[in-house]
Amino acid sequence: MTTGTRDFLGVGWRFPLQVTPQGSIARASYEQRIEESIYLILSTAKGERVMMPEFGCGMHELVFASNNQLTLSAVVESVRTALVSFEPRVDVLDVRAESAPGRPNLLLIRVDYRVRANNALGNLVYPFYIREGS
């Protein structure tokens, strides 16, 4: 694999922002950068960024929704739409949401994706809490 191909994956500051033991800003590169970008997209509510009001994931509008199949489907669709719209370096293969065993207010969102530049497969689980006020 050429360096030019991997450059497309990106190099930048870690998310969340961290400092190394030497006192410099921690950096992430390539596949790790993509995973952090996915977390950033899913953690940001639409309208949260003033200069980019469409950026983020609409699932935050469902925080007080009931834990039922309709909510799970809406969360899956919202996550898929956000990742397809804002993460051009990956192909979203599958998104699933399920309630965590014994924790009815916690949804585990599983995302399977493929990095376009090198066909590497990746996956992550994002925790999303619903009905925070109850």
Q: Are 115 and 122 in contact (CB under 8 A)?
A: yes
The CATH number of 3-129, from 3.90.1170.50, 3.40.50.150, 3.10.450.40, 3.40.50.300, is: 3.10.450.40
CA within 13 Å, CB half, 118? 15
pTM above 0.75, yes or no: yes
- pLDDT by residue, tens only, the chain of 134 residues: 445 555 555 667 666 677 878 888 877 766 778 888 899 999 999 999 999 999 999 999 999 998 899 999 999 999 999 999 999 999 999 999 999 999 989 999 999 999 988 899 999 999 999 875 44
Name the β-bridge partners of 19.
25
Tokens of 73: 């489907």
Question: How far apart are the C-alpha atoms of 92 and 121, rounded to whole Å?
Answer: 10
